[in-house]
Structure 1
Amino acid sequence: MDTQNRFKKFQKFKELHQQSSTFVLPNAWDAMSARTYQEEGFQAVGTTSAGISISLGYPDGENLPFEMMLSALKIIVNSVSLPVSADIEGGYGIIGEELTEKIKQIILTGVVAINIEDGTGDPHHPITDLSLQLEKIAIIREISQSMDMPLFINARTDLYWLNIGNLNERLKTTINRTRAYQEAGADCVFIPGLRCIDSIRTLRQEISCPINLLAESGSPSLEELSNIGIERVSCGSAPFRATVTLLKKISRHIMKDSNLEYMNKGTISYKELASRMEFNRN
């Protein structure tokens, strides 16, 4: 991807967070899912670490080999003309040379944004120490600037996702963490698991940068979130899980009912499917 094209995509992605209404970021796991989102009118695409990892035979949580993750990102970036944001989980590396090299490789795939989280996967120490997470964010910002390749950083905190602390403590800690992430260089903060509309309003009052929430069962509507001033909602792994759910239904219709028609009702034709693979390479 040439520098000018990259800058245009970065600017477009940044502008999506400056609209009067909440925008929805769909999360892809392969070329076809990304291409489908584009053809249905979405203005940007995110990736889902769970969808990519599981579709390639690995559990979520940085278990997918880094080179395979890079390959998946390149395929998705090359499948669409839209800005792509990569879910890089915890960064795939500790502080120092390892993290620096991996972030450079991620940027070179052509993604113009990333999502980095503070969950550790360790039940005894579920959240990364604040000082370490701030250092990660600052390093990522420095790397993108040194490469002269703008990168939109979405800093995720998993306090609600992991149900850490009581509700009052959780909200207070979330506010403190997300403020610190913004000061360290994050462009947006992501709080998956937060669904209480009153807490969302409080967070909006306390945080000046764009806020990203996860579309979940029981979440406020897009209209409600737009009225509060929430800039972005991510689909996460839900579209991937919905696809797997449909495959389960098809399988059951075949195995239990000997029904071969269910999978063909309203299904995209082979011709249309094949035409979607004629990608315009970036």
Structure 2
Amino acid sequence: MITSDRKALALVLRTLHRDRPLVLPNAWDPGSAVAVQAAGAKAVATTSAGVSWGVGVADAGGLTRTAALDVLRRIVAAVSVPVTADIEAGYGSTPDEVGETVALVLAAGAVGVNIEDSPGVAGEPLLDPDAQAARLVAAREAAVAEGVDLVVNARTDTYLMGVGTPEERFAATVKRAERYAEAGADVLFVPGVVDPDVIRELVAGPLPLNVMVHPGALTVAELAALGVARISVGSAIAQAAYGLAGEAARELLGTGTYGSLERAMEYGELNDLLR
């Protein structure tokens, strides 16, 4: 049963998308989630890559629905802000299976989802827009059945996969945005888009735009000025954390010093956040 507080959190998440831009530092486990919340994040978004690595499997096909849901439940339990879950392609090959996943995500306590149109198999093309739209419809229907105003972030990998020429890529993205909007999506997530002129044009499209940032990308202020509604970092924070682990280990095993560890969160601070 979906509780009234989850329904309220769903409304909070939806409202946050109107106070643009919503900035989401992505988390992958309860510890990173509480750190993100303590830093001032108004919502927590998960990263499937980070979750995959955290349970010891490769991203893009290695994570099972069961494992993803187990981590999601623990993240939701650790924070008080809304959680939106990266569920990759929905952990199912049919719209009904994607709908089942969304129902389980809602039961776990998340109130938003990312659903991508990449099948998660190396070398495979993007899913047909109509096929993906059917999966988005199923996601929306699952949320309606539970009485939750789920925020559906429809991800398209047209830019990440480098589909066609720049002109073809843009046209395909707009076509998918229109189709996904009709299917009940709330936001269009286009990882890989970096050109400000393209971003400006996509912002004028049928759905609010989510951009994924990285070192060297436009700043939050610059993206806000372009009209971007949602900004996330994908797996970047998880990569930085694992990068620090590797750096600290190399320093310890090499020079025998510990300077890398000066950037670590205090033991007591993190421990208290998880009490």
- Please tell me the TM-score bracket, short chain as reference: over 0.9
1:97 Cα deviation after fit: 4.0
State the identity %.
36
CA contact (8 A) 2:95 2:134 kept: no
Q: Secondary structure of the residue that 2:45 maps to in structure 1? A: strand
> What is the correspondence of 1:1-282 to structure 2 with a 5 Å cutoff?
3-19=3-19, 21-205=20-204, 207-259=205-257, 261-278=258-275
Structure 1 length as normaliser, TM-score?
0.93
For 1:62 and 1:78, locate their aligned partners in 2 and report how far apart those are by CA, in whole Å: 26
1:150 Cα deviation after fit: 2.2
For 2:63 and 2:2, locate their aligned partners in 1 and report how far apart those are by CA, in whole Å: 28
1:74 Cα deviation after fit: 0.1
For 1:264 and 1:180, locate their aligned partners in 2 and report how far apart those are by CA, in whole Å: 48
Query: Any unmatched runs of 5+ in structure 1?
Result: none
Structure 2 length as normaliser, TM-score?
0.95
Query: Any unmatched runs of 5+ in structure 2?
Result: none
Q: 125-134 or 68-77, which moves further after superposition?
A: 125-134
Relative to structure 1, the CA distance from residue 136 to residue 266 in structure 2 (aligned partners, 3 Å threshold; closer, same or farther) is closer
1:103 Cα deviation after fit: 2.2
Amino acid at match of 2:264: T
For 1:271 and 1:219, locate their aligned partners in 2 and report how far apart those are by CA, in whole Å: 34
Q: Deviations over 1:182-241 (max 9, x none)?
A: 111001110000000111111122x13211010123422222211121111111100000
For 1:217 and 1:249, locate their aligned partners in 2 and report how far apart those are by CA, in whole Å: 18
1:61 Cα deviation after fit: 1.3
1:2 Cα deviation after fit: 5.7
For 1:167 and 1:56, locate their aligned partners in 2 and report how far apart those are by CA, in whole Å: 37
Coordinate RMSD, CA, aligned? 1.6
Amino acid at match of 2:259: Y
Amino acid at match of 1:181: Y
CA contact (8 A) 1:195 1:218 kept: no
Give the paired residue count: 275
Q: Secondary structure of the residue that 1:161 maps to in structure 2? A: coil
Relative to structure 1, the CA distance from residue 163 to residue 210 in structure 2 (aligned partners, 3 Å threshold; closer, same or farther) is same
Relative to structure 1, the CA distance from residue 177 to residue 43 in structure 2 (aligned partners, 3 Å threshold; closer, same or farther) is same
